Amino acid sequence: MRLSRRSFLARMLASPLAGAYAAAAQTAAPLKITRVETVYWKSREDAPFWPHWTWVKIDTDAGVSGIGETYPRNPAEAAVVHSVASSLIGRDPRDIERIWADLYRAFDFQIAGGAEIRALSAIDLALWDVLGKSLNAPVYRLIGGKANPRVRLYNTCFPYKYDFNKEPEKIMRELIETRGIKAIKIWPFDGAAARNRNQFITPQDIDEALEPVKKLRDGFGSEIEIAVEFHAQWNVTSAIRIARALEPYRPMWLEDMLMPGNYLQYHELAAATSLPLIAGERMAGKMQFEQLLESRTVKYVMFDVTWCGGLTEARKIAGMADAFALPIAPHTAGGPLLFYATTHLTTASPNVWIQESCQRFYERDWRPCWRTPSRRRVDSYGCLRKAASACGSSRRFGITPQRCDR
């Protein structure tokens, strides 16, 4: 049967899900932002856990609200949010691309990075939350649907519970048995960087740092992936020496060995080792990532949804990586909304290698907030009942919330 353009579109919209979203979009009443609010703990030590994120709440005249998040410089991020909050009042929160572009240009006039881009990230996540709620749809459906029913995780081991230098096998065995996670990230070279003030590394330093890597590889063989984090602590000479020492242990990647932006130096490092490099968590905006991709120095692209410009910009960065035939591996060492928003992105992205999870945050800071994305959502990201109810509680958060009202 020959299809006309009209009949083709009719068939495309014939599914109950597509039809429901189309009808909702066509009949949706106007929305206006009426209030922008920020909340964070004044002192992490006063909290029952150890939060280091700033929450942004956007209210509308229809009673629909959205939650956003960023970290870790709370007063600075909140101040930036409120510096532009009045410009959001009265706007339709569903005009996400236009709002993003307007805010980015306003910030770029000052500086396109730092607290400005983190504040924009939090606002953007809140806008996507409002959009999802207004259409009664999870965010991953709005950005492309379910490309990945399951996404692999690796665990980042913050040393509050275990010393990963002394007992990495215990951590790995627990991850496999309790969560089915078969990839781990550690940073055994950071001690040498601190001792030597980032200037050099000795053969003894290398032998000592290799111990946990060797234990993991000897104990689990090729059953697991090992990622090694360097926190941009090294110069090129030291990085090459470290990379060559790690080659026999076949780590999944070497992360942030050099400061971001040093692409000629990254070229030199990439040419000196057979191991793949990854970078990007500290970078903000697609233009910085364009330079990284054009440098042809990394084999994976990492970004943080609450640092790079929010879900709007992260989608574009993921698409740019796909155009270079590179997989993404998002960074999620922050609060709960970061993890869940990222999970919606990786669910909808066709070029995902693996996603980070953080033992310290899961088990200590926000385990009570845990909601799997498959359960009935309490907001568009499928999480954070406590976040939604707590936003605005000065007693609970130890600080009077800042607000900008209509």
The structural domains of the chain, with segments of one domain joined by +, span: 30-141, 144-375
Equal CATH topology for 30-141 and 144-375: no
State the virtual CA torsion across 286, 347, 386, 70 in degrees, nearest 10.
-10
**Least confidently predicted of 128-142, 297-311, 376-390:** 376-390
φ, ψ (nearest 5 deg) of residue 306 = -90, 0
Q: What is the mean pLDDT of the chain?
A: 85
Task: Name the more confident of 7 and 325.
Answer: 325
pLDDT(23) > 50: yes
C-alpha to C-alpha distance for 312 and 345, rounded to whole angstroms: 10
pTM value is 0.86
Tokens for 275, please give them: 């191991």
Task: Name the more confident of 186 and 28.
Answer: 186
C-alpha to C-alpha distance for 192 and 297, rounded to whole angstroms: 25
User: 179 falls in which pLDDT band (50, 70, 90)?
Assistant: confident
Smallest CA-to-CA distance from 277 within 266, 261, 286, 289 is with 266
Q: Which residue has the tokens 């926000």?
A: 366
pLDDT(159) > 80: no
C-alpha to C-alpha distance for 223 and 296, rounded to whole angstroms: 29
User: 220 falls in which pLDDT band (50, 70, 90)?
Assistant: very high
Question: What is the rounded average pLDDT of the residues 272-286?
Answer: 96
pLDDT(397) > 70: no
Report which listed range, 157-161, 208-212, 368-372, is most confident: 208-212
At residue 2, the pLDDT reads 46
Helix (H) or strand (E) holding 16: helix 16-27
At residue 30, the pLDDT reads 83
Please provide the CATH number assigned to the domain covering 30-141.
3.30.390.10
Q: Which residue has the tokens 């730092």?
A: 114
Per-residue model confidence as pLDDT tens digits over 4-20: 444 433 443 444 555 56
Helix (H) or strand (E) holding 228: strand 225-229
**Least confidently predicted of 39-48, 211-220, 340-349:** 39-48
For residues 33 and 59, the answer to whether their CB atoms sit within 8 Å is: yes
Q: E strands of 313-380, at which residues?
A: 355-358
At residue 156, the pLDDT reads 87
C-alpha to C-alpha distance for 76 and 148, rounded to whole angstroms: 36
CA angle 266, 73, 90 (to 5 degrees): 110
User: 203 falls in which pLDDT band (50, 70, 90)?
Assistant: very high
Domain 144-375 has CATH 3.20.20.120: yes
- Percent of the chain whose pLDDT exceeds 90: 67
For residues 370 and 362, the answer to whether their CB atoms sit within 8 Å is: yes
State the virtual CA torsion across 81, 82, 83, 88 in degrees, nearest 10.
80
Tokens for 318, please give them: 């993921």
C-alpha to C-alpha distance for 210 and 218, rounded to whole angstroms: 12
At residue 390, the pLDDT reads 39
Per-residue model confidence as pLDDT tens digits over 328-353: 999 998 888 999 999 999 999 999 99
